[in-house]
Structure 1
Amino acid sequence: MDLPDGLTARPLRMSDARAMYELFATSEQADAGEVAIEPEDIEGDWQRPSFDLEQESVGVFDGPTLVAAAEVYKTRRAEATVHPDHRGRGIGTWLAAWVEDCSRRRGGTLVGQTVPLGSSAERLFTTLGYREGWTSWVLVVPEGAAIEPQPLPHGYLLRDLVPGADEQVAHLLVEDAFNEWPDRQPSAFDDWAARTVRRPGFEPWQIRFAVDPDGTPVGVAFMIVTEGCGYVDQLAVRADQRGKGLARALLVDAFERAREHGATRSELSTDSRTGALPLYQHVGMEVSKTYQHWMTDV
């Protein structure tokens, strides 16, 4: 199908990063009631070596104004939105077709997107015949809530990342843990680094290790703090070290670090593939938002 009269489409450019951020922030505010995305998220995503901005993104413009956009990462994961003022014109359907075609052209067999439960995007995917995937939750430690200490096993300790020495270790811990999930694509070191240690503004305190009595890192947490919110972006413990309370200790430590750096609340997200929801609820976190993944064969 064609775009509505007066609209044009082209691949996105690095110079569009700010407009992309503003578009997604406006959509998040309308769909979820708050803005979670940051400009640094766009910059980090677009600097991943495996992402081809020219081939795997599209922007829809009304004159010079970006009113809708989509990107597809590794043929599988889509991020697309339409500005609330331009919904109901068929642009979302056009983007969905573009996403499916992009995935197909790049060798994919399945593509999908995670969207707020009950949103207009969810209704669109239902209409287009997409099927449900996993459920995701955002959990929060509310402002002022007590953070209960979580003791480490004897001989274990927590420490910051040492630049130049620990980056590959952190990546391996995350990959080994996350690759246990079904329907999860591995991430090369440079892709992981683009969103963590090479993310604009990164500081070593944002990555914390749980270290065993021999000095070997066996768990890791990555934290982002922005506008009063600490977000635990990644949390992983080596399989043979689980059941010792290391994840809880890393989590509580991340909350405390976030407060030290100005956060008044802390958040993280998890989904039904991980089975980790009870862990987070155990340390006092509460579900604040629910999302659903929708996917289709291409």
Structure 2
Amino acid sequence: MEQPTLPEGYTRRPLALADAERIADVMGAEELLATGEVGVEAADLVADWSEPSYDLATHSVGVLSPDGDLVGYAEAYGGDRADAAVHPDHHGLGIGTALARWVVARAGELGADRVGMPNPVGSPGDRLLEALSWEARWTSWVLELPEGRTVPERPLPEGHTIREATGADYEQAWDVVESAFLEWSERPRQQFDKWLHHVLGRPGFEPWNLRVATDPDGAIVGVVIILLYGVDDPDGAEGFIEKVAVRRDRRGLGLGQALLAESFACARAHGAVRSRLSTDSRTGALSLYERVGMQVIQEWVNRAAPTSPHLSPVE
């Protein structure tokens, strides 16, 4: 079978940090088509791409139109995670198929046995990967706390507090988050310095974005990371809970709900008119968020394929 190539006149090159805004535009255009809204900002890409161990020349590829405009991209991060997008104006030309092939080859070269990526259910990207025999691994959902609603507050257990994290808290916070997420996520433990870069190194980070729950002895037993999107949006900013984690031996005490209530209140205080988070079928947490009044507004599927380092690169 002849391997797919780029359409005539289209070329490729590795990405550079300066491409973040344009690639965010490409991703946003595809999200808008699939979900009716844009949920990505250039800051998300800068946080990933500026991480010291991330090499754009190795981990990324951009597709340029005959006019020289970036219209598609893919990245393989190492491990089994990848992402890709093609601007809707350039759909149907085989670019997505070529990028999927590049992802499979590059992930294999980087040592992964499988590689996967998320797409909104039924979107062009999802239909393409399904047609390429990428298998569904898990489902994820974006949930929203509608404007004007609040998460019911839960009193904290005696002696527990929630506060803004300080530098002395960072390593404990990392341990709580990584330990909680590795209970269901099959990946290597993220190193502390890399985790810290993605939290503090995201453009626009402010100290209130990282909050911790402490027990009577001052040990960190819960962590939440809050992002603020669309600060210049005339319709109002959006708070997004990137991570929420409670230490295993402190679950069932209401700390998770208390952290959610605190986070959404902080986001509102900084201009958010609504708040969101995402969860997936591996965590079993969907019903918990629905019980506190959050509503599913998007459904995504992560599809994966076995890698092959022997495929030739995209032509």
TM range (shorter): over 0.9
**1:165 aligns to what?**
168
Tell me the matched-pair count.
297
**2:281 aligns to what?**
272
**1:14 aligns to what?**
17
Distance 1:50 1:279 in 2: 36
TM-score by length of 1: 0.97
Q: How does 1:83-232 map to 2 (within 5 A)?
A: 83-162=87-166, 164-227=167-230, 228-232=237-241
**1:240 aligns to what?**
249
Secondary structure class of the residue paired with 1:187: coil
Is 1:256 the counterpart of 2:265 in the alignment?
yes
Asked if the contact 1:51–1:74 (Cα under 8 Å) also holds between the matched residues in 2, the reply is no
1:76-107: CA deviation from partner (whole Å, max 9, x where unpaired): 11110110010001111000000000001111
1:192-211: CA deviation from partner (whole Å, max 9, x where unpaired): 12221121121111111111
Distance 1:182 1:233 in 2: 15
1:93-123: CA deviation from partner (whole Å, max 9, x where unpaired): 0000000000011111100111001111111
Distance 1:36 1:194 in 2: 21
Distance 1:271 1:241 in 2: 22
- TM-superposed deviation, 1:136: 0.1
Asked if the contact 1:207–1:220 (Cα under 8 Å) also holds between the matched residues in 2, the reply is yes
Distance 2:253 2:129 in 1: 41
Secondary structure class of the residue paired with 2:168: coil
Asked if the contact 1:221–1:234 (Cα under 8 Å) also holds between the matched residues in 2, the reply is yes
Moved more, 231-240 or 164-173: 164-173
1:6-45: CA deviation from partner (whole Å, max 9, x where unpaired): 1000111112111111111111111111111111101001
Distance 1:157 1:64 in 2: 54
Moved more, 194-203 or 285-294: 194-203
Is 1:52 the counterpart of 2:61 in the alignment?
no
Distance 2:185 2:19 in 1: 34
- TM-superposed deviation, 1:235: 0.4
Asked if the contact 2:78–2:111 (Cα under 8 Å) also holds between the matched residues in 1, the reply is no
**2:234 aligns to what?**
none
Runs of 4+ more than 6 Å apart: none
- TM-superposed deviation, 1:190: 2.4
Asked if the contact 2:60–2:73 (Cα under 8 Å) also holds between the matched residues in 1, the reply is yes
Q: How does 1:21-60 map to 2 (within 5 A)?
A: 21-60=24-63
Secondary structure class of the residue paired with 1:264: strand
Is 1:292 the counterpart of 2:301 in the alignment?
yes
Query: Which ranges of structure 2 fall in alignment gaps of 5 or more residues?
Result: 231-236, 308-315
1:126-181: CA deviation from partner (whole Å, max 9, x where unpaired): 1111111010000000111233212111111111111x212212111111111111
Secondary structure class of the residue paired with 2:12: strand
Structure 2 counterpart of 1:116, one-letter code: P
Structure 2 counterpart of 1:98, one-letter code: W
Secondary structure class of the residue paired with 1:76: coil
